[in-house]
Structure 1
Amino acid sequence: MEIESFRALLTDEGQTLLAELREFKPGQELTLATRLRREHPAELVSAALAQAQLRQRARAKFDEDADAMYFTPNGVEQATRRSVGEWRAQRFAALGVKTLADLCCGIGGDAIALARAGIAVLAVDRDPLTCAVAEANAAALGLAELIEVRCEDVTRTDVTGYDAVFTDPARRTSKGRVFDPEAYSPPLSWAVDAARRTPFGALKVAPGIPHDVVPEGAEAEWISDHGEVKEAGLWFGTTPAEPHRATLLPGGHTLTGGRLPDPLAGPVRRYLYEPDGAVIRAHLVAEVAEQVGGTLIDPMIAYLTSDRLVPTPFAHAYEITDVLPFNVKKLRAILRERKVGTVVIKKRGISMTPEDLRRQLKPSGPETVTVILSRKGDGHLMMLGQPVGA
């Protein structure tokens, strides 16, 4: 999208088109475009249709805000989802932050969350179109007084006088994802230095960041939303008692730690606990094991087992009824005998996919069971059971 085409969407005619396209259904694009081009310039119609499609995609991240916001294709894909942005903004606000420089602001997702938390934001990006979109989003959501958008190279931005800096370096290139933190744009080392120029700082990193590249004195936080790990962040100035944090959204459940030794491994007991992905990424399985009085099934597999059912938001619990060596033929016979037609398959440390296994099992019947596959030593186990309450 060219910046001129985007600015045309902000005119009265552009707004009329976007309002008309708010609830269009996929597959209607050709019919709509043909009709609308009789009344409006073809280029404007194309831009409005593209924006309407982006808004529909963005609803998964921004909920109802998406219908009023503006997006670029990269912006939809790379923007922080609303729930995560709100959590980070709440943390900054709780630290007493009143002013913040949002570097590599993109379309303004984080700036919006920060402004809604009462923080005055300088939002900086080097791409003119992205800045125009961020500025339009601030205005569309009534936050223009709290968000100043500046188009410049973030490495030249003076953050003197701000309470905090937040940086979201680009982790993609035209060739795909970047896994080396020093290949981020700007590099991780620069972003860390920027975070330390103000009393508080944070920066977004990939969830798979190696623990050994987390800087000394930083708090590393992994965040999941509805059980799916979304991102990791490094915090500075928070003087954490523990180096690692796992946060589960919604609910804001937070687990800290990172200093306990790995749990021992032992036999499968009555209950199996499957830690949340953020807990695993943060290397906090030992902390959950301590909560539930659990041991590992295998030293290299993040499944815990215990004789006790202990409510915890940091792991899903299952009551185990059967523990057997993994054998597809035997499992199929058990499911047939118990009239099981719905099989929920969990697995770790085994190459077979749940889809492949389900095709081989051919379940049929009214009952439901959870099948958990795991490596144990040199072999593989299959454990049958049911989920129990959180």
Structure 2
Amino acid sequence: MPSPTSLAPVLSPEAWELLNSLPEYDDAASSSLNLRLRKDGWPPEVVAAVLTQLRLRRAARGKFGEFAERMLLTDHGLQQSTRLPVAARHARRFVSAAVEHVVDLGCGLGGDALAMASAGLQVTAVEADETTAAAATINLRAFPEASVVHSRAEEYTAGLDWFARPPAEGPDMPPRWTGPGLWLDPARRDERSRIWDPEAFSPPLSFVTELAATGAPMGVKLGPGMPHELIPADCEAEWVSIDGELVEVVLWFNALARPGVRRAATVLTSSREDPLRVTAAELTSSDDFGQGLHPDPAGSAGLRGVLHEPDPAVIRAGLVAELCAQLEGRMLDEHIAYLCTDDAPSPAHPPFSRAYRVLEVMDFNPKRLKRWLQDQEVTSLEIKKRGVDVVPETLRRQLLGSPKKPRAGSPKKHATLVLTRVGDERLAAVVEPLR
């Protein structure tokens, strides 16, 4: 973690005013800006800190939009922070459950706390790292509903009594949770790399399950690669993707978990005009992991018509078979996340998959594929694969050879190959994307 003094150079009123007066960071102009600020008498540490903040603000626009222009950021905090459209959905879950106060345990830079305060919730943002807590304080300064506490989640929760036992229920009845809703985003990186052991998270997964056992309305953001077997049995697990990128799994407990939903895939699509405005589609199941639909695989004969590549949120939630049933399609292999339909999906169908028209299917044989590409005069190639142990970049070079200067007047020709395993067969399908 950075030291608490790493943000200090930009926290004086003069340096803060300087930071907010400068244009967006430009790599090409950064050296000249550095020299100009030094010539103007700014200390080297202030100039370095200001340029770092400008660079981070530029990187943060994809997550926070225009809010990034007045935020105080750290590299580590930005890596783990929640994109604003996703954070807004977290906030709506609390609002829908009639929760009025949320304690954000591990608030980071305050992305989720910002969305919750914007939704009218009272927010107590708790952060263990002093530098990050200072940044969150700056980032939430426009919201009187929000306050920041520098503390570890375990210490903060241990010092509060959020339970009550109504006298009418008698002393033998367990106490009821009467405190706020809880939001946790455990730290999953250290100074060197990502942490994979849930008990090494800060706070650890065992602390999360202990809090959930109190009955608190609670949401927990985790990395989307969280193994299914480690997900507690008494929660709703929601995988979220945005524009095809899988960004998180959220475990919803108690009043925030929807009745009859064990697994969910939420697919968000950004507006081209406004990246912070998204549309959402959702696929859910009440069945536990490994249960639910198990359609008979169609085998290689089913690789025809339209091939569907499910969104990664659908795959990680284990809902490929449910999507197949919704599309009235056929699974090719029970272990491979491709499915086929005879016809293209309706434009009104939720975007749970990318669709490709199947043009030709052949055995996966590099020599045969190379001849086919030469015969078709293909000049560029996209390779998608599942269940086949190849490196697409290496195979592309093998199939196309060294880039050749095209003959004058000869058109460029692109092809898309899907390599997959169906049972014991390895197949190559030539496809074209359907929009």
Q: TM-score range by the shorter chain?
A: over 0.9
**Number of the residue aligned with 1:18:** 19
Q: Aligned ranges for residues 228-243 of structure 1 at < 5 Å?
A: 228-237=245-254, 238-243=257-262
TM-score norm. by structure 2 comes to 0.83
**Number of the residue aligned with 2:169:** none
- How far the C-alpha of 1:334 sits from its partner, in A, is 2.7
Q: Aligned ranges for residues 159-170 of structure 1 at < 5 Å?
A: 160=162, 161-170=178-187
- How far the C-alpha of 1:202 sits from its partner, in A, is 0.7
Q: Aligned ranges for residues 26-65 of structure 1 at < 5 Å?
A: 26-38=27-39, 39-65=41-67
**Number of the residue aligned with 2:7:** 6
Q: Distance in 1 between matches of 2:137 and 2:341?
A: 53
SS of the residue 2:91 aligns to: helix
Q: Distance in 2 between matches of 1:194 and 1:37?
A: 51
Q: Distance in 2 between matches of 1:108 and 1:350?
A: 42
SS of the residue 2:140 aligns to: helix
Q: Distance in 2 between matches of 1:2 and 1:41?
A: 19
**Number of the residue aligned with 1:69:** 71
Task: Determine if contact 2:25/2:51 at 8 Å carries over to the other structure.
Answer: no
**Number of the residue aligned with 1:374:** 420
- How far the C-alpha of 1:370 sits from its partner, in A, is 2.1
Q: Distance in 1 between matches of 2:431 and 2:101?
A: 51
Q: Distance in 2 between matches of 1:104 and 1:199?
A: 17
Task: Determine if contact 2:304/2:340 at 8 Å carries over to the other structure.
Answer: yes
- How far the C-alpha of 1:20 sits from its partner, in A, is 4.5
Q: Distance in 2 between matches of 1:90 and 1:126?
A: 26
Q: Aligned ranges for residues 231-380 of structure 1 at < 5 Å?
A: 231-237=248-254, 238-250=257-269, 251-257=279-285, 258=287, 259-266=291-298, 267=301, 268-311=303-346, 312=349, 313-362=351-400, 365-380=411-426
Listed one character per residue, the Cα deviations across residues 252-304 of structure 1 (whole Å, up to 9, x for unaligned) are: 21110144232321121211111110101000011101011222222211111
Give the letter aligned to residue 321 of structure 2. A
Q: Distance in 1 between matches of 2:185 and 2:161?
A: 15
**1:226 pairs with 2:243:** yes
- Unaligned 5+ segments in structure 1 are none
- How far the C-alpha of 1:73 sits from its partner, in A, is 1.5
- How far the C-alpha of 1:192 sits from its partner, in A, is 2.4
Q: Distance in 2 between matches of 1:58 and 1:239?
A: 32
Listed one character per residue, the Cα deviations across residues 234-253 of structure 1 (whole Å, up to 9, x for unaligned) are: 00122431310001112221
- How far the C-alpha of 1:199 sits from its partner, in A, is 4.3
Distance 1:128 1:159, change over 3 A: farther
SS of the residue 1:86 aligns to: helix
- How far the C-alpha of 1:325 sits from its partner, in A, is 0.1
Q: Distance in 1 between matches of 2:253 and 2:25?
A: 45
Task: Determine if contact 1:100/1:121 at 8 Å carries over to the other structure.
Answer: yes
- How far the C-alpha of 1:156 sits from its partner, in A, is 2.3
Q: Distance in 1 between matches of 2:207 and 2:25?
A: 44
Give the letter aligned to residue 355 of structure 1. E
Distance 1:159 1:101, change over 3 A: farther
Q: Distance in 2 between matches of 1:198 and 1:150?
A: 23
Q: Distance in 2 between matches of 1:272 and 1:159?
A: 55
Q: Distance in 1 between matches of 2:318 and 2:305?
A: 24
Listed one character per residue, the Cα deviations across residues 316-341 of structure 1 (whole Å, up to 9, x for unaligned) are: 11110111101223223333333433
**Number of the residue aligned with 2:275:** none
Q: Which has the larger radius of gyration?
A: 2
- How far the C-alpha of 1:369 sits from its partner, in A, is 2.9
Q: Distance in 2 between matches of 1:132 and 1:305?
A: 52
Listed one character per residue, the Cα deviations across residues 333-365 of structure 1 (whole Å, up to 9, x for unaligned) are: 333333433433211112222222222232874
Q: Distance in 2 between matches of 1:270 and 1:375?
A: 18
Q: Distance in 2 between matches of 1:182 and 1:137?
A: 30
**Number of the residue aligned with 2:155:** 156
Q: Distance in 2 between matches of 1:79 and 1:87?
A: 14
Taking every aligned residue pair, what percent have the same amino acid on both sides? Answer: 39
Task: Determine if contact 2:25/2:58 at 8 Å carries over to the other structure.
Answer: no
SS of the residue 1:252 aligns to: strand
Equivalent residues, number: 386
- How far the C-alpha of 1:64 sits from its partner, in A, is 2.0
Q: For the aligned residues, what is the CA RMSD?
A: 2.1
- How far the C-alpha of 1:33 sits from its partner, in A, is 2.1
TM-score norm. by structure 1 comes to 0.92
**1:183 pairs with 2:200:** yes
Identify the match of residue 91 of structure 2 among 89, 92, 110. Answer: 89
Distance 1:198 1:149, change over 3 A: farther
Give the letter aligned to residue 345 of structure 1. I
Give the letter aligned to residue 70 of structure 2. A
- How far the C-alpha of 1:385 sits from its partner, in A, is 1.6
- Unaligned 5+ segments in structure 2 are 163-177, 270-278
Q: Distance in 1 between matches of 2:199 and 2:130?
A: 25
